[in-house]
Structure 1
Amino acid sequence: MREGLKESISDSSVHFSFKYLDINNQKFSINGKKSKYFEKMLERLKGICLMTQKEIINNRSKSLRAHQINWNDTTEPRGFSQLNQQLQQILPYQFEISANEHGRVHGFFIDNIFFIIWFDPDHKLYN
């Protein structure tokens, strides 16, 4: 557990927070996306709310593709650099909106809350 933050794997249903959403990052922009994208995104978020953090972290489904992010393998080796140092130390995760379509969602967990940082509709975190 990192100082000042409670990082434990929760058996409670997942909730989402947009507190740290980086909407000004043009690389991870949802501007101009069609309504189908938002429909799929909301369906995925709703479905994930039925899961626990533990289920997501241990899920190996190809349709969810939930896993930790290794920043060294990405186009953003500095990670969520816009966040404060304490938040940057939390393990980042990602999951897919729908199988091979509509991109991914990147963020981190604190307990059962997933803080969404970037929507990545065009798979730009990995080139």
Structure 2
Amino acid sequence: MGKSKYADIADRDAESVSQEKLKVSFENIDFNSEEFFFHGLDPHYYSKFFNCISELQRSKESEIAQQTHPSLSPKSIFNTKTSIKDSFPDCVIENVKQKLYIETRDDQDSMNRALEITSRAFEVSLGKNHGRLHGFLWNNTFYVVWIDPAHNLFPMDRKISKHADAAVVRCFSPDECKRLQSKIRELQYEYDELYEAFANQ
């Protein structure tokens, strides 16, 4: 017996979805893990970052899931002992679980499905020596979780590069800015005194 007309419709819908371009979401991004950071890097890094996002948006989910995309070099993560993490943070899993709970109304089922969804985890390359983005695929969307310019998820010789070592632009707190302004005024005062003393010789 052949397929029913409903099966044919489902097959066409599945094929149609597989041809859609990926969306990219930052709603599950994690800025609390010190190994992953985004600020204070050189301008060329940000050019690479946005090029990678654009390339993701031109990609199909299957190219990431099947690890066949030619330039993003996608790889499955959390399936090797060389990574420093074995899953995304609990807050990311909880966020997915809450979205699923609206549909399932079952706490345990929502958690099981959230764990399954976030385990469809992949990394994509920003280009040579510019690190990777780590995230998961769900509903034809790549959810970025970690921005990893220093390759810290899979560190060479198990050595983690801290932000302070990788950043080229230092970020200052308001207190630090006030301290520097005070120091500048102090140095300007010393300069003025020396200049006046030299001028009066």
Q: Which interval holds the TM-score relative to the shorter structure?
A: 0.7 to 0.9
Displacement of 1:60 in angstroms is: 5.5
Number of equivalent positions: 117
Instruction: Give me the TM-score of the superposition, normalised by structure 2.
Output: 0.53
Contact kept, 8 Å, 1:105 with 1:116, in 2: the verdict is yes
Tell me the SS of whatever aligns to 2:65.
helix
Q: What residue identity is the alignment partner of 2:144?
A: I
Alpha-carbon distance between aligned partners in 1 of 2:59 and 2:114, rounded to the nearest angstrom:
24
> Are 1:92 and 2:100 counterparts?
no
- By relative contact order (CA 8 Å, sep 6+), the higher-ranking structure is 1
Correspondence 1:27-106 to 2 at 5 A: 27-58=35-66, 59=68, 61=70, 63-73=71-81, 74-77=83-86, 79-82=87-90, 83=92, 84=94, 85=111, 86-90=113-117, 91-98=120-127, 100-106=128-134
Residues 88 and 34 of structure 1: CA distance in aligned 2, closer, same or farther (over 3 Å): farther
Equivalent residue of 2:40, what SS? coil
**Structure 2: distance between partners of 1:37 and 1:11:** 30
Q: Over alpha carbons, which structure has the higher Rg?
A: 2
Alpha-carbon distance in 2 for matches of 1:76, 1:36: 28
Alignment counterpart, residue 21 of structure 2, candidates 13, 38, 49: 13
Name the structure 2 match of 1:4. none
Note the aligned Cα RMSD (angstroms): 2.0
| CA distance in structure 1 between the partners assigned to 2:79 and 2:25 by the alignment | 22
Structure 1 gap ranges (5+): 1-7
| Counterpart pick for 2:136 among 94, 105, 108 | 108
| Shift >4 Å, 4+ stretches | none
- 1:72 deviates by 4.0
TM-score (norm 1): 0.80
Contact persistence 2:135–2:142 (CA under 8 A): yes
Aligned residue type for 2:136: F
Q: What SS does the aligned partner of 2:24 have? A: strand
Identity within the alignment, %? 25
Q: In 1, are the aligned partners of 2:29 and 2:144 still within 8 Å (CA)? A: yes
